[in-house]
Amino acid sequence: MARIAHLLDRLLAGMRSISLWLARLGGLLILATVAMVALEIASRGLFGRTMGASTELSGYVLAISASWAFAYSLLEKAHIRIDVVYVLMPRPARALMDLLALTALALFCLFVVGAAGEVAMKSFLGGSEANTPLRTPLWIPQGLWAAGLAWFSLVVAALLLRVLVALAGGDTASIQRVAGSRTLDEQIATDTEEGRA
């Protein structure tokens, strides 16, 4: 079990690196969108003309960048969790709650990724285009969005597998470290480290 746990920890570390770069790329896309919207506003104010693409492209960027950031947010425990009762539970009970949460998230991912992939594939096979001046082939933004959701699903599956291995070995401390909600002490330590950096 220890060897499998070590391999899964290395896999999750690699996934964390990839997820960080995907989140950064999504952030850059958002910054580019902000610049485009600022140019659009300036163009309207100064010349009375519009480029006409900012609304469409900003919608695509929002969906794509969000899906690309989901995995990194999960690995960094940045998703909003309501843990008032959770932090009062003993560690074994918290481990079971983490397992339940990841299992529910994995099931949710199955449905969402399946639906997103189906939408992108139908757009590709049907040659669907946006009914805008850009006439964007819809499978491109939909495919990028679905790819982010698929990556998120892989990360969820790896985390779930790691939690199952830890649970089989009775290692509830690893479950807390990998998938558990941060305790107040952990949050203070993280904020202190970030403040020093």
- pLDDT, tens only, 135-190: 999 999 999 999 999 999 999 999 999 999 999 998 888 888 888 877 666 777 77
Pair 141, 119: CB distance under 8 Å: no
Pair 12, 178: CB distance under 8 Å: yes
- pLDDT, tens only, 10-20: 999 999 999 99
pLDDT for residue 184: 67
- Single pTM value for the model: 0.87
Residue corresponding to tokens 């397992």: 99
Annotated domain spans of the chain: 2-196
* Neighbouring residues of 115: CB distance < 8 A, sequence distance ≥ 6: none
